[in-house]
Amino acid sequence: MGVDYYSYLVVGCSIDEDKLKIPTKVRACDCNVDKIEDMKFCSKCGEEVWKEDYDLIEGYEEDESFLGFDLVYNTDNENCWIAIRKKEVGGYNRNEFDMLDPSDNIEELKAELKAKLEPHGLWDKESFGIWVIQCCSY
Ligand SMILES: [Zn+2]
């Protein structure tokens, strides 16, 4: 246990993770009651009939990746980035891979990311760049 500080170097863009989720409502209890859909509270158990939930949009592996690109979060998952390349810097699990391969063409990688995000309304050219994301686990 303890506090661990580390950061990620990311080539990619920031993304609003909420846009990767579709809000839905689901039943909060399993009681078999007539016309329960019209009720706010269940007449059998007293719980609210509906609770907030969400579905994931296609291609989103929650907390991991979207359309095959890694997702990176800062401390407490407050913000999210989609990475075409990433490197963890510092911490105990420093990886030894170079972030960019000499054959990488940033404009091609950017175009690939844009082509995948644009149909979902998630492409933001202003946020595309190199990000340093500082994290703290505790
Ligand atoms: Zn109930």
pLDDT of residue 61: 92
CA distances from 38 to 32, 35, 43, 53, 54 (A): 13, 6, 11, 19, 21
Ligand 1 centroid to Cα of residue 38, in Å, is 13
What is the reported pLDDT for 119? 92
Residue 71 has which token pair?
């997702």
The pLDDT value recorded for residue 103 is: 82
Q: Can you list the residues of the chain whose pLDDT is less than 50?
A: none
Q: Is residue 126 a part of any domain in this protein?
A: yes
Distance 94 CA to ligand 1 centre (A): 49
Q: How many domains does the chain have?
A: 1
Report angle CA 63, 27, 60 to the nearest 5 degrees. 20
In a domain, 91, yes or no: yes
Report the DSSP pairing between strands 129-137 and 80-89. unpaired
pLDDT of residue 26: 92
Q: What pTM value is reported for the model?
A: 0.77
Domain ranges, residue 12: 4-19+60-137
